[in-house]
Amino acid sequence: MNLQDTIDKNNLPRHLAIIMDGNGRWAKQQGFLRAFGHESGSKSVKEIIKTSAKLGIEYLTLYAFSTENWNRPKLEVDTLMKILVNALKKELPTLQNNNIRLNTIGNLDKMPQSTQRELLDVIEKTKDNTRMTLTLALSYGSREELISVVKDISNKVKNNIISIDSIDDSIINEHLYTHNLPDVDLLIRTSGEHRISNFLLWQIAYAELYFTDILWPDFKEQDLYEAIISYQKRERRFGKTSEQIK
Ligand code: IPE
Ligand code: IPE
Ligand code: MG
């Protein structure tokens, strides 16, 4: 059976987010250094981006580096930054050919200058692409994001730009890093860990969660189809009863 053909194109997650985990364990299993796991993981990134665009996913958000990941050994952090810059340089044509716009969320100021330059360059060059928005979460932490929301809104209240009574869901949304993205519909985490690790806490309020034991460098096209098929079998009720949905 061809998995791809069983996917209902009218019921795709509009916003797919992925916690790409397990590169280190994948490398260790085969007796390699963790860096090799990250290199191999970047091949899965490319395949999943192309597959998502081909399917018709509008928003794909990939957790690539968390605020907590800065606490890893310096050598590993440096390697990850190098892999990122090289991938951005190399894959610009992939983004252009597939009509994909690059976006980022996170505290980019903490990234090395060369990485920031490369990111801004690719964001600028792909800004008019319309098929899919690819968001890389880099130096991203949901708590840091929410702290920045609280600070920005507090300042506006202090300066009488908005009133306390007007603060609602949409005001919060407007101040998040993800202000230009819809809520997450499907969140995938690879590698068998069943946790969120500080990713998009507000934005996944009603996301469907999908956990798989597959390590990220082994997560390929067919695995993404399986996740989407699982998503399509679920009934999203948003607090209502099943009868109300039908
Ligand atoms: C995910 O793989 C990549 C990043 C967090 C940058 P890990 O490096 O966390 O791999 P494991 O979890 O140690 O196997
Ligand atoms: C989450 O993976 C962050 C990314 C995938 C970028 P981690 O490997 O850092 O998560 P924990 O620390 O095991 O929860
Ligand atoms: Mg991990």
CA distance 41 to 156: 42
Average pLDDT over residues 123-152: 98
Element (H, E) at 62: strand 59-66
Give 138's strand partners: 65
CA distance 160 to 216: 47
Cα-to-centroid distance, 1 and ligand 2 (Å): 34
Average pLDDT over residues 37-64: 98
**pLDDT value for 246:** 87
Minimum-distance ligand 2 atom for the alpha carbon of 69 = 9
Whether the predicted pLDDT of 128 surpasses 80: yes
Q: Which of 27-58 are b and which e, b meaning 16 or more Cβ less than 10 Å from the residue's Cβ?
A: beeeeeebbbbbbbbbebbeebbbbbbebebb
**pLDDT value for 1:** 66
Average pLDDT over residues 56-68: 98
Q: What are the domain boundaries of the chain?
A: 14-140+184-232
21, 183, 185, 223: which is the annotated catalytic residue?
21
pLDDT digits (tens, 9 = 90+) for 99-125: 999 999 999 999 999 999 999 999 999
Whether the predicted pLDDT of 39 surpasses 70: yes
**pLDDT value for 113:** 95
Active site residue 23: no
**Domain 14-140+184-232, CATH:** 3.40.1180.10
11, 69, 103, 183: which is the annotated catalytic residue?
69
Mean pLDDT of the chain: 97
State what percent of residues in the chain have pLDDT above 90: 99
The pTM for the full model equals 0.98
Active site residue 21: yes
pLDDT digits (tens, 9 = 90+) for 199-237: 999 999 999 999 999 999 999 999 999 999 999 999 999
Minimum-distance ligand 2 atom for the alpha carbon of 65 = 6
Average pLDDT over residues 140-167: 98
Does the beta carbon of 24 sit less than 6 angstroms from any atom of ligand 1? Answer: yes
Cα-to-centroid distance, 80 and ligand 3 (Å): 13
**pLDDT value for 5:** 94
Take atom 9 of ligand 2 and give the residue whose Cα is closest: 69
Whether the predicted pLDDT of 153 surpasses 90: yes
